[in-house]
Amino acid sequence: MRLIIILITTIALLFFCKCSSSAVIDLGDVETPTGTQEIAVRDLIIRTIGEDASKSFVVHVDKTMPSRSFQIKKTEASTLSIIGSDGVAVAKGFHHYLKYYLHKHIDWTHTKVELQLPIQLPNATIFSKSASNFIYYQNVCTWSYSFAWWTFPNWRRHIDWMAMMGVTLTLAPIQEYIWHEVYVEMGLTKDEIDEHFAGAAFQAWQRMGNIRGWGGPIPHSYRRMQKILQQRILKAERDLGIRVALPAFAGHVPVAMTRIFPNNTFTAVERWNHFPDKYCCGLFLDPSDPLFNQIAVKFLNKTIDNYGSDNIYFCDPFNEIQPRFADAEYMNATSFHIYESMRLVDNSAIWLLQGWMFVKNIFWTDELIKAFLLAVPLGKMLVLDLQSEQFPQYERTHSFHGQPFIWCMLHNFGGTLGMHGSVDIVNTQIRLARDMVNTSMVGVGITAEGINQNYAMYELALERGWMKDDFDLNNWFEVYADVRYGIRETRLHSAWQLLRQSVYSYKGLLKIRGKYSIARRPSTNLSPWVWYNTSNVYIAWAQMISVIGNTTIPLHNLPFVSHDLVDITRQFLQITFDQLYVNLMAAYTSKNMEKYVFIADKMLEALNDLETILATNMDFSLSRWLEAAKNLGRTPVEKQLYEMNARNQITAWGPNGQILDYATKQWSGIVIDYFRPRWALFLQMLQKSLESNKKFNEEAFKRTVSQEIENPFSISTKVYPSEPVGDSFTVAQRIFLKWTTYADDSHFKKYCIKSIRYV
Ligand SMILES: *[C@@H]1O[C@H](CO)[C@@H](O)[C@H](O)[C@H]1NC(C)=O
Ligand SMILES: *[C@@H]1O[C@H](CO)[C@@H](O)[C@H](O)[C@H]1NC(C)=O
Ligand SMILES: *[C@@H]1O[C@H](CO)[C@@H](O)[C@H](O)[C@H]1NC(C)=O
Ligand SMILES: *[C@@H]1O[C@H](CO)[C@@H](O)[C@H](O)[C@H]1NC(C)=O
Ligand SMILES: *[C@@H]1O[C@H](CO)[C@@H](O)[C@H](O)[C@H]1NC(C)=O
Ligand SMILES: *[C@@H]1O[C@H](CO)[C@@H](O)[C@H](O)[C@H]1NC(C)=O
Ligand SMILES: *[C@@H]1O[C@H](CO)[C@@H](O)[C@H](O)[C@H]1NC(C)=O
């Protein structure tokens, strides 16, 4: 097996403080030879700063260093030595120097840095050791919400980013090629298999047993392509010393299995989000059934043969699925058999479990959780406490009854846009969880369902995971602004402090799901809310605009400036729209037609402005998403299928709006052809109801909007611009001046008096 697993039961601690016998996971050394890791991290540096500049960095992997540590020393005038305990540690050290000494920024979309030659290398002597044994990244959903259409070049860049952020553990969930082999061997027909696999944008939920078939059938060539892609991803990750968790069998099987195994205990999974029969209610095979073991072993054996192994496997039998019996013995047996099936193939197996099933689910009583967790030997299960920043489970479960866990910031659902975050919680709770009595916390992770939003939050969480002590947040955000924008500017510092104290200061328990009025299906019953003073966003926006108006931004930083400017303009319009909406409803209720017409007009204008600003930056474009999807198809039919998948996931999410707008995107193209037509229709129908003094027919509106706008959007093949339209700064400034003027207008003031609900 690839890794040595050391279980440290802290006998000394037991003696002194009567701590529980909570197990600590230590996976020991990565098996990748140090030479391979060195070459991989050197190549990463070349990709990041170029061949010439890279010559100034001498890297070395030294396994005798404390694990997860790096050491930086300036050895000569023009050379910097970075030594790390593994490839990731070197990459993390390199990024640390890049950010804090050379003041260069990278993020998800940009990982290339231009350095002036010869590089002026600031003096540095640094030793840094991670306070986290694991830095984890990914969520099973990210693969569908963000990575669905990626090819290897996207991954190459992303893996570089992961390593530079210190990520040591991640997922590789692609499994359809292998399942296909298993199903064929077991005797399922092509049709039976095709009805099972979901389309390219929906695989995450079919893998978890939530849906089946929707968006399919997948051509076999796609499965082969995905298998090869994952093999390349795994190699790139392992070369750098990143460990990867592979899927294990969780019990979800095609419905056709009953034909072949009429005598086994399958139970139909309950309907998920109103999906119709054709696409829902797959079967769950009880882990105590001997057939479970047979399938699990077959599947894991093939998985390891195809992908190798780091001895860690993820498996989630009950993700948004209720177990059959609320019985401790049943839960214990279920968990026991699942782990046994892994251990039969890999004696050193560790089960990576998403703790999501325990969150806000009354089924999971303390007794059931305990029975489930303790059926696996301590230290052989690693739990992701999936949304520790809002709904932590580690306290309630007493550190998962001693099973090691990772403190994760989930932050985002469905890859929706909208500025938000819980900076203070991330900063302080990580320390408090580590310092808990009997803590079994072994790391920090980020588990966003979708990426490409609120970048600062993820950089903060990953950096915080490495560090032992809380950050001085004032300072952290100041440096963030300096490095991201390439200039030191008090107005930018101030803008970020305002954002930190507003959008990024969330501490509540209401769920944030990206459903702002502008992006939602219109209704008379929306109830938009904010947790912050919206003036902060406006002032921060004004400050950014004033800086960009009279400052030269370094070329390297322009994409970051443009992105953030578009994003904050988007945020302003999103908030403004919420405010317009609450005043529109006030006008409607008080039957004030003049006010209604005035506001309705402004709402459509906000939608137009949103489309215009988003179109100036490809990070906010539908085109990129659709073109990438089509690019994976080899034939016109495949291209059309993938395009339908891509469109449906971010709008109707299901054949008929089953999870409508859950993964909505404030992107150009969507605003003009989906958000705006919906609101235009609504405003028109609501106005008619006002004019005729007849009650607004909500049901009739829902039917029409779904038939005429929402569902057709999924099957449209309209092509969107592949280049930005307009200049971000000019457009942002125009929108800024316009809405600033409106705010001073006496009509506007009179009509928009009501503010968004503040919680
Ligand atoms: C810590 O573990 C010990 C031994 O299992 C137990 O007696 C004690 O109550 C635990 N403390 C907390 C705060 O959970
Ligand atoms: C960098 O360190 C070297 C060796 O300690 C020293 O000679 C040099 O003056 C330092 N340079 C700066 C700019 O501090
Ligand atoms: C199922 O059980 C029936 C009755 O015991 C038996 O005749 C049949 O062969 C079994 N089928 C399989 C596939 O095991
Ligand atoms: C899988 O099974 C085959 C055939 O029994 C065996 O040769 C191979 O070593 C197994 N692989 C694993 C990872 O157990
Ligand atoms: C569950 O089963 C394991 C052995 O499989 C046992 O050690 C453990 O105590 C059981 N826990 C509960 C709560 O039933
Ligand atoms: C919101 O911020 C603005 C600008 O700083 C301030 O004038 C206003 O009083 C604040 N509103 C509330 C409710 O705190
Ligand atoms: C840019 O504008 C700000 C505020 O409007 C002002 O304080 C600053 O002096 C200006 N800078 C330049 C270089 O014009």
Give the CATH number for residue 43.
3.30.379.10
The answer to whether 261 and 290 have CB atoms below 8 angstroms apart is: no
With respect to residue 348, please indicate whether it lies within any of the assigned structural domains: yes
Q: Residue range 182-197: average pLDDT?
A: 98
Domain total in the chain? 4
Q: Which of 75-79, 196-200, 658-662 is the least confident region?
A: 75-79
Q: Which of 288, 329, 332 for mutating ligand 5's site (highest number of atoms within 8 Å of CB)?
A: 332
- Decide which of 109, 129, 149 is a domain's last residue: 129
Does some domain include residue 267? yes
Q: pLDDT-derived band of residue 321, with 50, 70 and 90 as boundaries?
A: confident
Q: How far is CA 395 from CA 150, 402, 403, 434, 438, in A?
A: 38, 11, 13, 12, 11
Ligand 3 pocket member 290 (CB < 6 A) = no
Q: Which amino acid is at 220?
A: H
How far apart are the C-alpha atoms of 570 and 553, rounded to whole Å? 21
Q: Summarize the confidence of residues 448-452 as an average pLDDT.
A: 98
Domain identity same for 756 and 643: no
- 672, 613 in Cβ contact below 8 A? no
What pLDDT, on a 0 to 100 scale, did the predictor assign at position 295?
98
* Residue 348 CB–ligand 6 contact under 6 Å: no
**CB 437 less than 6 A from any atom of ligand 1:** yes
Establish whether residue 533 lines the binding site of ligand 6, counting it when its CB lies within 6 angstroms of any ligand atom.
Answer: yes
Same domain, 75 and 7: no
Return the number of other C-beta atoms located less than 10 Å from residue 281's C-beta. 20
Residue 230 is which amino acid?
Answer: Q
Q: Which residue CA neighbors atom 4 of ligand 1 most closely? A: 20
d(CA 544, CA 560): 12
Q: Check pLDDT > 50 for residue 2.
A: no
Among candidate residues 79, 114, 129, the one where a domain is terminated: 129
Mean local confidence (pLDDT), 571-587: 98
Give residue 319's pLDDT: 85
SS (H, E, C) 236-282: HHHHCCCEEEEECCCCEECCCHHHHCCCCCEEECCCCCCCCHHHCCC
Question: Is there a contact between 664 and 625 (Cβ–Cβ < 8 Å)?
Answer: no
pLDDT band at residue 18 using 50, 70 and 90 as cut-offs: very low
Confidence of residue 76 (pLDDT cuts 50, 70, 90): confident
Q: Are residues 406 and 434 in the same domain?
A: yes
Copy the structure tokens of residue 239: 């070369």
Residues spanned by the domain of 488: 472-504+529-617+743-759
Q: With 50 as the cut, is the pLDDT of residue 647 above it?
A: yes
If you average pLDDT over residues 506-534, what whole number do you get?
A: 97
**Does pLDDT of 482 surpass 80?**
yes
Return the residue whose CA atom lies nearest to atom 1 of ligand 3. 263
CATH number of the domain at 427, please.
Answer: 3.20.20.80
Stretch 240-246: mean pLDDT, rounded?
Answer: 98
- What's the pLDDT band for 322 if we cut at 50, 70, 90? confident
Pocket test for ligand 3, best of 186, 263, 264, 289 (most atoms within 8 A of CB): 263
Whether 238 and 365 map to the same domain: the answer is yes
Tokens of 481: 């602004």
Is 409 inside a domain boundary? yes
CB distance 374 to ligand 5 below 6 Å: yes
Query: What average pLDDT does range 109-124 have in this prediction?
Result: 94
Q: Is residue 738 part of a domain?
A: no
Q: Pick the atom of ligand 5 nearest to 328's CA.
A: 14
Ligand 4 centre from 506 Cα, in Å? 50
Ligand nearest to the CA of 338: 5
Q: For residues 321 and 455, state if they share a domain.
A: yes
Which of 327, 374, 403, when mutated, tests ligand 5's pocket best, judged by the most ligand atoms within 8 Å of its CB?
374
Which atom of ligand 3 lies at the shortest distance from residue 261's CA? 13
C-beta separation of 201 from 218 below 8 A: no
How many Cα atoms sit within 13 Å of 645 on the Cβ side? 31
State the number of CA atoms in the 13 A half-sphere of 698 facing the CB: 6
* Residue 532 confidence (pLDDT) above 60: yes
Structure tokens at 412: 């985002």
Please say whether the beta carbons of 544 and 568 come within 8 A: yes
Residue nearest to atom 14 of ligand 4 (CA): 301
- Looking from the CA of residue 398, the nearest atom of ligand 1 is 14
The distance from CA 432 to its chain's CA centroid, rounded to whole angstroms, is 24
Atom of ligand 6 nearest to the CA of 534: 1
Kindly state whether residue 724 falls inside one of the protein's structural domains: no
| The two structure tokens encoding residue 626 | 């659709």
Q: What is the mean pLDDT of the chain?
A: 95
Ligand number nearest CA of 540 is 6
Determine the 3-state secondary structure of 371 from DSSP: helix
- pLDDT value at position 12? 33
DSSP string, 303-320: HHHHH---SEEE--TTTT
Closest CA to ligand 5's atom 11:
371
Instruction: State the maximum Cα–Cα separation within the chain, in Å, rounded to a whole number.
Output: 82
- Residue 509 lies inside a defined structural domain of this protein: no
pLDDT at residue 4 is higher than 50: no
| Cα–Cα dist 356/663, whole Å | 18
The residue ranking higher by pLDDT, 19 or 451, is 451
259: CA distance to ligand 3 center in Å? 11
Question: Nearest to residue 729, comparing CAs of 491, 546, 482, 536?
Answer: 546
Domain check: are 590 and 658 in the same one? no
Entry pTM: 0.95
Query: Which residue stretches of 80-207 are H helix?
Result: 87-100, 142-145, 152-164, 176-186, 190-196, 203-207
Element containing residue 483 per DSSP (H, E):
helix 473-485
Same domain, 496 and 427: no
- Measured from the CA of 436, which atom of ligand 1 is nearest? 13
With a cut of 80, say whether residue 110 has pLDDT above it. Answer: yes
| Residue nearest to ligand 5 atom 12, measured at CA | 371
- pLDDT for res 652: 98
CB-count exposure of residue 437 (10 Å: 0-12, 13-18, 19+): exposed
Q: Which atom of ligand 4 is nearest to 302's Cα?
A: 1
What is the pLDDT, as a whole number, of residue 11? 32
The ligand that comes nearest to the alpha carbon of residue 307 is 4
- Taking the CA of residue 348 as centre, how many other CA atoms within 13 Å lie in the half-sphere pointing to its CB? 15
SS3 408: strand
**Residue-level pLDDT at 24:** 67
Instruction: Retrieve residue 473's tokens.
Output: 């947040």
Judged against a pLDDT cut of 90, whether residue 5 lies above it is answered with no
Residues 404, 397: Cα–Cα separation, whole Å: 12
Q: Is the pLDDT of residue 354 over 90?
A: yes
Query: 155 with 183, same domain?
Result: yes
Are the beta carbons of 378 and 415 closer than 8 angstroms? no
- Count other Cβ atoms within 10 Å, centred on residue 531: 15
**pLDDT reported for residue 565:** 98
Whether residue 140 has pLDDT greater than 70: yes
613 and 631, same domain (yes or no) = no
Pocket mutation for ligand 4, best pick of 185, 297, 301 (most atoms within 8 Å of C-beta): 301
* pLDDT score of 291 more than 60: yes
The answer to whether residues 371 and 492 belong to one domain is: no
Cα–Cα–Cα angle for 296, 309, 413, rounded to 5 degrees: 75
Q: What is the pLDDT of residue 21?
A: 43
Confidence at 23, pLDDT banded by 50, 70, 90 = low
Strand intervals (E) in 377-472: 381-385, 405-409, 441-446
Residues 568-583, mean pLDDT to the nearest whole number? 98
Q: Mean pLDDT, to the nearest integer, of 713-726? A: 98
Residue 20 confidence (pLDDT)? 40
CB atoms within 10 A of CB 264: 16
> CA distances (Å), 360 to each of 212, 269, 363, 509, in order?
25, 20, 9, 11
Check if 304 has its Cβ closer than 6 Å to any atom of ligand 4: yes
Model confidence at 16: pLDDT above 80: no
Compute the distance between CA of residue 420 and CA of residue 515 in angstroms, rounded to an integer.
Answer: 12
**Which residue carries 């003041």 as its tokens?**
103
- pLDDT at position 10: 32
Percent of the chain with pLDDT over 70: 96
- Domain ends where: 101, 129, 157? 129
Same structural domain for residues 100 and 147?
Answer: no
The answer to whether the beta carbons of residues 274 and 203 sit under 8 Å apart is no
Residue nearest to ligand 4 atom 2, measured at CA: 301
What is the pLDDT averaged over residues 311-323? 91
Residue 516 is assigned to a structural domain of this protein: no
Of the candidates 341, 346, 198, the one whose C-alpha atom is nearest the C-alpha of residue 280 is 198
Question: Is 293 near ligand 6, meaning CB less than 6 Å away?
Answer: no
What per-residue confidence (pLDDT) applies to 320? 80
CATH number at residue 480: 1.20.120.670
Decide whether any atom of ligand 4 lies within 6 Å of the 301 Cβ: yes
296 shares a domain with 162 = yes
Residue matched to tokens 């790390």: 84
Is the model's pLDDT at 6 over the cut of 50?
A: no
Q: Which ligand is nearest to the CA of 259?
A: 3
370 CA from centroid of ligand 5 (Å): 9
Task: Reply yes or no on whether the pLDDT at 543 is more than 70.
Answer: yes
Instruction: Quote the ligand 3 centre to 294 CA distance (angstroms).
Output: 18
Tell me the backbone φ, ψ of residue 90, rounded to 5 degrees. -65, -45
Please give the pLDDT value at position 27: 67
Tell me whether residue 323 is in a domain.
yes
Average pLDDT of the residues in 628-651: 98
In this prediction, residue 25 has a pLDDT band, given cuts at 50, 70 and 90, of: confident
